Amino acid sequence: MLELLLCSMVTIFPDYLFRRYVQGKRIGRELTLYSVWYELRWGITACLLLTISLITLIFYFHPSTTNVAAIFRTVTILPETSGRVAEVYVDVNEKVEAGAPLFRLDSSEQEAARETAQRRIAEVDAEIAVAQVELAEADGRIRQAQGAHSQAINELETKTQLRARNKDVVAAREIERLQVAVDAQQGAVDAAVANKRTLETKLSSLLPAQKDSAEAALAQAQIDLDKTLVRAGIAGTVQQFTLRPGDIVNPMLRAAGILVPAEAGRKALIAGFGQIEAQVMKAGMIAEVTCIGKPFTIIPMVVTQVQDVIAAGQIRPTDQLIDVQQIARPGTITVFLEPLFAGQLEGIPPGSSCIANAYTNNHDAIASGKLSTPHSLFLHVVDTVGVVHAMILRIQALLLPVQTLVFSGH
């Protein structure tokens, strides 16, 4: 309607002035309800053509959409393991800080596992103490075996010297017996030394490895115990939290609640523009929005990102072929809008619906001097007609509360 009024001022109105003051035709005489089309046919035709062209120009180069929302993502409150709720520390709609405890699961099994790991560490420490005593005992056995071995060697050498002087003094059988005794004592020495090395290896490798394993089991048991206490991963508000002691929580089947982050939906708006504006929407464009949650307010925004794919065209691998005609509704171009100045989205509840206008700006291209005169003039017209869309948005901002409260029946 606004475009039609503007176009009529430069088409129908001049045509009427010509008919009235040049041709002398008056309203009610020559200009009647039945003859107005014939008398003002040039102005009316030009007005219709100019209005259609102006609307097309405005809505193409300065796109508008009602598909705007302060979309936010929630965090599901879930434990890493299933279990029965033992204690609940928060209530519904309560604000929590990051790291604050939310609820605790029954931890008797995890505490038993931790106690077992602690007992195993104490057992390994006791084995280390026993092995150190056995090591001292092994030193004594080595000295004892070495002494017996030296005594057997001395006795063998003495009897060997006596037999060398007189074969009748010592029998050959006695020499053989003494040699066997020396070999046996040498084996005892070797066994004692090997036993000591075994104990040393046990003290230096086996028992420390067993202690490390026990400490790792203790750490794992402590981690499992810590998992029974569920904490808030981010600051926010707890919603749909109805847990009570005795409830069963399973991360695969039942969530405990929802945590709405404190900054959710307060940094940017997400808009869906028509596919026809794919060549117009660019990052850096200036935009304006008005939201139902904050009426009578125009918020200046800037386009920060333009998604290069259309979500409606996505498919998922299934056992059935997808027919393209099943995608009956064309998708939109997802655009991210951020406020030009910090704090402008305050007061807008996350999830609010909004109306957005984006404006094409050709100032740099015109100022470069590289364009022809007709092209530069056309871009001037494009930038100028953006004012019409800005006026329409402000009219919508004024009428939006009336439409919502009166005409919608809410």
Is 410 within the bounds of a domain? Answer: no
**How many domains are there within the chain?**
4
Same domain for 247 and 274? Answer: no
Same domain for 350 and 397? Answer: yes
- Sheet of strand 257-261: strand arrangement: 75-77, 257-261, 236-239, 95-96
Residue 285 maps to which CATH number? Answer: 2.40.30.170
Task: Please give the average per-residue pLDDT across 18-37, as a whole number.
Answer: 70
Residue 28: band (very low, low, confident or very high) from pLDDT cuts 50, 70, 90: low
Contact 383, 403 (CB under 8 A): no
Residue 409: band (very low, low, confident or very high) from pLDDT cuts 50, 70, 90: low
Separation CA 326–CA 312 (nearest Å): 11
Separation CA 227–CA 236 (nearest Å): 21
Task: Please give the average per-residue pLDDT across 176-195, as a whole number.
Answer: 75
Same domain for 158 and 253? Answer: no
pLDDT for res 303: 92
Q: 102 or 173: whose pLDDT is higher? A: 102
Same domain for 149 and 189? Answer: yes
Q: 405 or 338: whose pLDDT is higher? A: 338
Same domain for 239 and 113? Answer: no
Structural domain ending residue among the three candidates 190, 217, 244: 217
Same domain for 290 and 392? Answer: yes
Is 66 within the bounds of a domain? Answer: yes
279 pLDDT exceeds 80? Answer: yes
Is 157 within the bounds of a domain? Answer: yes
Is 224 within the bounds of a domain? Answer: no
Model pTM?
0.67
pLDDT tens for 354-386 read 899 999 888 888 888 788 888 888 888 888 888
Alpha helices by DSSP H, listed for 22-40, are 36-39
57 pLDDT exceeds 60? Answer: yes
Same domain for 197 and 334? Answer: no
Same domain for 143 and 250? Answer: no
287 strand-pairing partners: 301, 358
Lowest mean pLDDT among 91-105, 218-232, 246-260: 246-260
pLDDT for res 36: 67
pLDDT tens for 117-151 read 889 888 888 888 888 887 777 777 777 777 777 77
Same domain for 256 and 333? Answer: no
Q: Which amino acid is at 179?
A: Q
Contact 272, 334 (CB under 8 A): yes
pLDDT for res 288: 93
Which of 75, 190, 173 minimizes the C-alpha distance to 138? 190
By three-state DSSP, how is residue 337 classified? strand
Q: Which amino acid is at 184?
A: A
Is 223 within the bounds of a domain? Answer: no
Q: What is the DSSP string of 279-326?
A: TT--TT-EEEEEETTEEEEEEEEEEEEEEEEEGGG-----SSPPPGGG
Contact 298, 397 (CB under 8 A): yes
Q: What range does the domain containing 154 cover?
A: 108-217
pLDDT for res 3: 64
User: Burial of 249 by CB count in 10 Å (0-12 exposed, 13-18 middle, 19+ buried)?
Assistant: buried
pLDDT tens for 302-328 read 999 998 888 877 777 777 777 777 776
Task: Please give the average per-residue pLDDT across 247-276, as a whole number.
Answer: 83
Same domain for 382 and 273? Answer: yes
Is 126 within the bounds of a domain? Answer: yes
For 90, 149, 162, 345, 409, the CA distances from 141, given in Å and listed in that order, are 67, 12, 32, 85, 102
Same domain for 200 and 331? Answer: no
Same domain for 362 and 233? Answer: no
